[in-house]
Amino acid sequence: MRRVPSLRDQRGFTLIELLVVIIVLGLLVGLVGPRLFGRVGQSKTAATKAQIELLGAGLDQYRLDVGSYPTTAQGLDSLMRNPNVPNWNGPYLKKAVPRDPWGQPYKYVCCPGQHGDYDLWSEGADNAPGGDGENADVTSWDQTAR
């Protein structure tokens, strides 16, 4: 005949074992967490650089068709909608003009910009000029290939 186990026969985790597991998990999160969160800022900066390159390619194609870059007043939206200029052959982007990874619109100044034919930039996480790390500006004039 089979014996039914009683509550005394059932073995579980002791309070000390649970505390040790919680402490080990806390240490792992404390050591690994900051490294992972630091990578998030780096990836947003890399994504911003890539988007600026793509927007720059669209602006260059616009210039080839129209003969000049869109003015500051026309803005980046002219890459998607004709601002009533002849020879516009867009849209020049596959999707709508994106916002930067921090949710802000890209800044655009043309013709000319202070650093070239046009200036295109994001002000980073703090949405203010300058800054370091994730708060640093990402600009079209600092890109290696343009």
56-104: per-residue pLDDT in tens? 999 999 999 999 999 999 999 999 999 999 999 989 999 999 999 999 9
User: Alpha-carbon distance 122 to 108, whole Å?
Assistant: 9
Residue 29 lies in a domain: no
Q: Can you give the pLDDT at residue 122?
A: 94
Residue 11 lies in a domain: no
Residue 87 lies in a domain: yes
Strand partners, 139: 121
Q: Can you give the pLDDT at residue 146?
A: 37
Residue 40 lies in a domain: no
CATH of residue 101: 3.30.700.10
Q: Can you give the pLDDT at residue 77?
A: 95
| Structural domain containing residue 102 | 47-139
Residue 81 lies in a domain: yes
For the chain, the domain total comes to 1
DSSP letters for 83-142: -S-TT-----SSSPPPPPTTSPPPEEEESS-SSSSEEEEE-TTTTSSS-SGGGS-EESTT
Sheet holding 118-122, edge to edge: 107-110, 118-122, 138-139
Residue 105 CB neighbours (<10 A): 13
Residue 70 lies in a domain: yes
Residue 115 lies in a domain: yes
pTM: 0.69
Residue 104 lies in a domain: yes
